[in-house]
Structure 1
Amino acid sequence: MPYLTSAVLGAALLCFAFLGLRARRADGPLDDYVTARNSQGAQSLGLSFLASGMGAWILFAPPEIGAFVGPLALAGYAIGSALPFIVLGLYGPAIRRHLPEGRSIGEFAEACYGAGVRRWVSLVSVLYMACFLAAELTAIGAITALLSDVPPALVVIGVAVATLLYTAVGGLRASLATDRWQAWLLVALLALVGGVALTRLPEMPVGATLPSIPAGSALAVALTLVIAVTAANLFHQGYWQRVWAARDDRALGRGAWLGGGVTVLVVMGVGGLGMLAAMAGVALGEPPIPFFALLAQAPGWLALPALVLAVTLVASSVDTLQNGLASLVVAGSGRRGLSLGAARWVTVALMLPVVVVALQGLSVLRLFLIADLLCAAIVVPVLLGLWSRMGATAAVAGGVAGMLGAILPGWVAQGSLAAGVLAASFPDSIPTLPPFLWALVASTLVSLLIAWWRPGSSNRRDIESVEKEIGG
């Protein structure tokens, strides 16, 4: 059985590599490598948003939230997962008009506020995506150990190498091409695995009720998830690349709504499996993993398509993250002379430490939460960049206020700055609303106040000068 499983997973990864390499432009310029500028229609973008946003996390987090917190919090998770696409779909046309030759969130920040803010924003984006990559590769190792006798390290390295093969050679076009196939495949496999697992669900007890916690607590969890997931994913460079990859504004908007709508359905569907498992009295395990607890009740053969599903989910998000990380480096204002060959080596080099971390089998949830909080502290100042009154002073002050706001609840509650900082680092790896809410509120209020008091500071960059640097 390990040999059959290895062969099937290897075949899936080779298919992804073939599809990605076939889409490459061998003679394309560096700009095409990182943006595939003005080339993608609405359906292609929608499927790409769906596939790149889905990862192995959907097999863990939504079912657990559904099983223990209930439908309100699950809806918050689903909305938070889709909102970044919708925000970029609505805001993206303005970004494209003001920075038509742009390539990254860093360049957008530089055009609005200068090189100093660009480096800050790029650092947060790299931190978030590196955590995301490590989490996805760690998850596929854990799923492999759960569902098969194949060595987890073999699958972790296999996914990393296969996706690197086509992203390093083909760039964003390769990722977009595989996303289209991976999106359809993951929806089909989710339907198969979830459908078969439901047929083996124990009979529902008389008087079974939906899992729930008090409405106020559920609403707090939902709001926490909306803020954390939305803010963090707005620093996902892979999504920003798709703003410029869109054929036009209409394609971007329709693609964002398509990807966001299907994402909500998928997250709610997978989370619903967790709710049904809890209602039926299925033993959810320790630590609880409702989706895989359902698989334990299903036929043994279902483990193989479930593992292919997991590999598809991880590959679809990993290739986007790889290309996004590389594009942040090659699109930096100080790296205009970077060659296409060097960009490919950058893609490979950025993956090495991530794979090393993933092979340790560590939990990266706390790092993820810290990265999410950093994103929540500065997301509003960054997105306000197209407002003419905003300047670098307002943006930086807003970001600093957001970080202070994040530690304020713990500081006030426990009476010391150190306690506030510790609380904002989530020592128990459990997301709580106050740090996220106060980070968002403080950054927004301070940014707006300073923008009104001192509009358009002299540090604000001229967008046309940034365009000339990008083009030159």
Structure 2
Amino acid sequence: MLYLTSAVLGAALCCFAYLGLRARWVDGPVDDYVTARNSQTSSTLGLSFLASGMGAWILFAPPEIGAFVGPLALAGYAVGSALPFIVLGLYGPKIRRALPEGRSIAEFADACYGKGVRRWVTLVSVGYMACFLAAELTAIGAITGLLSDVPPALVIIGVALTTLVYTAVGGLRASLATDRWQAWLLLALLLAVGSVALWRLPAMPSEAALPSVPVTNALSVALTLVIAVTAANLFHQGYWQRVWAAQDDQSLGRGAWLGGGMTVVVVMIIGGLGTLAAMSGVALGEPPMPFFALLSDAPAWLSLPALVLAVTLVASSVDTLQNGIASLVVARSEQRGVSLVATRWITLILMVPVVIIALQGLSVLRLFLIADLLCAAIVVPVLLGLWQRMTPLAAVGGGIAGLIGAVLPGWVSQGSLVAGFLAASFPGSVPTLGPFLGALVASTLVSVVIAAVIRK
């Protein structure tokens, strides 16, 4: 079984590499490597948004939220996962008109505020995407160890190298080409594996009930997840690339709504399996993994499609993240006369620490929450850049206020600045609303007030 599993996973990765390399733009300009400008239809974009947004996290986080907090918080998670696409679908046409030759969120920040804010935004974006990469590769290692005898390190390195090869050579077109196939494959595999998990669900006991979490607590978790996931993913350069890859404004809008709609459905279905697992009394494990708990007594053959599903999920998000980081490096490199070949090497070097972290098998949830909070503190000042009255001072002031606002709830409630910082670092890796709401409200208010008082 070890050799069969290794062969199947290797074949899947080779197929992704072939599809990506076949789509490469031979000797094309750097701009096409980074944006595939004005080339993608709404259906292609919709499938790409789905595939690039769906990582291995959907097999862990939504089922756990569904099992322990219930449908209300799960709905918040689903909406938060899809909302970045919708925001870019609605806001993207304005960005395209204001910056027709743009390529990244950093260039958008530069055009609105100047190079100082651009550097800040670039740092946040690369940091967030690096955390995302480490989390996805860590997840595929954990799933591999759970479902097979294949060494997790082998799969981690295999996914990282395979996706790096076709994204480094083919750029965004390679990522978009594989996304189409990966989206259909992950939908088919999710349907197959989810159906078997549902079929093997024990009969519901007479006392079965939804998680007994107060509505106010469930609403708090839902709102926290909406803010955290939306704010962080708006710094996902892979999504911003698709703003300029769209054929036109209509393709962007339709693709965003299509990808967002499918994302909501997928997250709700997978999370719903977690709710059903908890209600049926299945042992969820320690640490709890409701989705995999449903597969614990499943036929041995099911582990193979489940592993292919996990590899597909990880590869579809990792190639987008790698290409997003490369595009930010390209934008900086062009100003300094660095070649595209050198940029590819820089991207490869950046992957080394990411893979090393993933090989440790660490929990990155707390790092994710801190990165999400940093994004939440500056997302509104950045997006307000198209408002004519916004200034660099208003953007920077709003961002600083957002960071202070993140600490303020814990500081006020516990009467200690140290306690405020501790609360904003999410001890126990528990998402709480206070820091996120404080960051969002403070950054918005201060940005608007400074912009309204000080004219350009």
**Shorter-chain TM-score range:** over 0.9
Alpha-carbon displacement from aligned partner over 1:158-204 (angstroms, at most 9, x marks no partner)? 00011011001001000000000000000000000000111111111
Paired AA for residue 224 in structure 1: T
In structure 2, the residue matched to 1:394 is: 394
Alpha-carbon distance, 1:270 to partner: 0.2
Paired AA for residue 251 in structure 2: A
Alpha-carbon displacement from aligned partner over 1:141-166 (angstroms, at most 9, x marks no partner)? 00000000000000000000110110
* Kept in 1: contact 2:330–2:340 (CA 8 A): no
In structure 1, the residue matched to 2:173 is: 173
Paired AA for residue 121 in structure 2: V
Alpha-carbon distance, 1:343 to partner: 2.2
Alpha-carbon distance, 1:208 to partner: 1.8
Paired AA for residue 206 in structure 2: V
In structure 2, the residue matched to 1:375 is: 375
Name the CA distance, whole Å, in 2 between partners of 1:48 and 1:350. Answer: 24
Matches within 5 A, 1:335-354: 335=335, 337-354=337-354
Alpha-carbon distance, 1:334 to partner: 6.4
Alpha-carbon displacement from aligned partner over 1:208-252 (angstroms, at most 9, x marks no partner)? 222241000000000000000000000000000000100100000
In structure 1, the residue matched to 2:424 is: 424
Paired AA for residue 171 in structure 2: G
In structure 2, the residue matched to 1:69 is: 69
* Kept in 1: contact 2:333–2:343 (CA 8 A): no
In structure 1, the residue matched to 2:54 is: 54
In structure 1, the residue matched to 2:226 is: 226
* Kept in 1: contact 2:106–2:328 (CA 8 A): yes
In structure 2, the residue matched to 1:407 is: 407
In structure 1, the residue matched to 2:235 is: 235
Query: 1:296 aligns to what SS in structure 2?
Result: coil
Greater shift, 216-225 or 361-370, is seen at 361-370
Name the CA distance, whole Å, in 2 between partners of 1:262 and 1:229. Answer: 17
* Kept in 2: contact 1:106–1:332 (CA 8 A): no
Matches within 5 A, 1:267-278: 267-278=267-278
In structure 2, the residue matched to 1:459 is: none
In structure 1, the residue matched to 2:206 is: 206
Alpha-carbon distance, 1:349 to partner: 1.6
In structure 1, the residue matched to 2:118 is: 118
* Kept in 2: contact 1:138–1:359 (CA 8 A): yes
Alpha-carbon distance, 1:417 to partner: 1.5
Question: Alpha carbons of 1:436 and 1:347: their partners in 2 closer, same or farther (altered >3 Å)?
Answer: same
Query: 1:428 aligns to what SS in structure 2?
Result: helix
Query: 1:40 aligns to what SS in structure 2?
Result: coil
Paired AA for residue 170 in structure 1: G
Name the CA distance, whole Å, in 2 between partners of 1:34 and 1:342. Answer: 15
Alpha-carbon distance, 1:348 to partner: 1.3
Name the CA distance, whole Å, in 2 between partners of 1:453 and 1:300. Answer: 66
Question: Could you say what the CA RMSD is over the residues aligned between the two structures, in angstroms?
Answer: 0.9
Alpha-carbon distance, 1:27 to partner: 1.3
In structure 1, the residue matched to 2:12 is: 12
Question: Alpha carbons of 1:126 and 1:290: their partners in 2 closer, same or farther (altered >3 Å)?
Answer: same
Aligned: 1:298 with 2:306: no
Number of residue equivalences? 456
* Kept in 1: contact 2:333–2:339 (CA 8 A): no
Identical aligned residues as a percent: 81
Paired AA for residue 144 in structure 1: T
Alpha-carbon displacement from aligned partner over 1:364-386 (angstroms, at most 9, x marks no partner)? 11111110000000000000000
* Kept in 1: contact 2:394–2:446 (CA 8 A): yes
* Kept in 2: contact 1:212–1:218 (CA 8 A): no
In structure 2, the residue matched to 1:162 is: 162
* Kept in 2: contact 1:107–1:333 (CA 8 A): no
In structure 2, the residue matched to 1:449 is: 449
Name the CA distance, whole Å, in 2 between partners of 1:213 and 1:37. Answer: 47
* Kept in 2: contact 1:189–1:306 (CA 8 A): yes
In structure 2, the residue matched to 1:96 is: 96
Paired AA for residue 407 in structure 1: V
In structure 2, the residue matched to 1:309 is: 309
In structure 2, the residue matched to 1:283 is: 283
In structure 2, the residue matched to 1:188 is: 188
Paired AA for residue 403 in structure 1: L
Alpha-carbon displacement from aligned partner over 1:324-364 (angstroms, at most 9, x marks no partner)? 01111111286352322122222212211101111111111
Matches within 5 A, 1:119-134: 119-134=119-134
Alpha-carbon distance, 1:423 to partner: 1.2
* Kept in 1: contact 2:46–2:257 (CA 8 A): yes
Alpha-carbon distance, 1:297 to partner: 2.7
Matches within 5 A, 1:317-336: 317-332=317-332, 335=335
TM-score, reference length from structure 1: 0.95
Name the CA distance, whole Å, in 2 between partners of 1:191 and 1:291. Answer: 13
Paired AA for residue 25 in structure 2: R
Name the CA distance, whole Å, in 1 between partners of 2:455 and 2:371. Answer: 30
Query: 1:203 aligns to what SS in structure 2?
Result: coil
Query: 2:296 aligns to what SS in structure 1?
Result: helix
Alpha-carbon displacement from aligned partner over 1:102-128 (angstroms, at most 9, x marks no partner)? 111000001000100000011110110
Paired AA for residue 449 in structure 2: L
Name the CA distance, whole Å, in 1 between partners of 2:423 and 2:87. Answer: 29
Query: 2:430 aligns to what SS in structure 1?
Result: coil
Name the CA distance, whole Å, in 2 between partners of 1:332 and 1:153. Answer: 32
Structure 1 unaligned blocks of 5 or more: 457-472
* Kept in 2: contact 1:330–1:336 (CA 8 A): no
* Kept in 2: contact 1:365–1:429 (CA 8 A): yes
Alpha-carbon displacement from aligned partner over 1:393-436 (angstroms, at most 9, x marks no partner)? 00000000000000001111222212211111112111100000
Structure 2 unaligned blocks of 5 or more: none
Greater shift, 52-61 or 296-305, is seen at 296-305
* Kept in 2: contact 1:114–1:392 (CA 8 A): yes
* Kept in 2: contact 1:107–1:332 (CA 8 A): no
In structure 1, the residue matched to 2:29 is: 29
* Kept in 2: contact 1:140–1:152 (CA 8 A): yes
In structure 2, the residue matched to 1:384 is: 384
* Kept in 1: contact 2:77–2:222 (CA 8 A): yes
Name the CA distance, whole Å, in 2 between partners of 1:69 and 1:426. Answer: 18
Paired AA for residue 323 in structure 1: N
